[in-house]
Amino acid sequence: MTDKFSPDLTKTFPCEQTIGYYFQDKTLLWEALQTDGSPNCPADNPRYEVGNKRLAIVGNLAMDLLLTSIWHSTGNTSAVLDSTKLTTLSKPSLEHVAKRNELYRYIIRRPGTLFDVETLSTAVEAIVGAAYLDGGMTAAKRVVQKLEIGI
């Protein structure tokens, strides 16, 4: 099956400026900005049926790996790593990152929904995941540093 869907990429460039990374595959960033139920996501395409949640899983794992790599070089205990992960990668912490960087300006959500902690934190994870898939760990790290995620 060929994907003939062509997303509107008009919000990707301003978002790229905010996050400090310019995508080769801009559809990855577009997908990261779509919430579950976004009116822009075609219902018949499994890639987009849950909005940015698939990319959020990738982003969460990329941030976890970045955090773990940094921890490894410190010599700290695994308890320190666990505590740092709980605070740095928590939904409220990532929501704060989204608000501080005004990422809500680019997120496309289902009509009538609010920018709650779940929506904003998932978008941050998805943006990092999109950067990882587009440019590897170097790209994900650049976005994490630009957004000041605390890793």
Tens digit of pLDDT for each residue in 119-134? 999 999 999 999 999 9
Please state the rounded mean pLDDT for residues 17-44.
87
Please state the rounded mean pLDDT for residues 108-118.
88
- Of 13, 10, 54, 14, nearest to 32 by C-alpha is 54
Paired with 108 in beta bridges are 34
What distance in Å separates the CA atoms of residue 102 and residue 115, rounded to the nearest whole number?
A: 11
Largest pairwise CA distance in the chain: 50
Look at residue 49 and tell me whether its pLDDT is greater than 80: no
State residue 2's pLDDT score.
46
Look at residue 40 and tell me whether its pLDDT is greater than 80: no
Structure tokens at 88: 């740095």
Q: Cβ(86)–Cβ(12) under 8 Å?
A: no
- Looking at the chain, how many residues does it have? 151
State residue 36's pLDDT score.
81
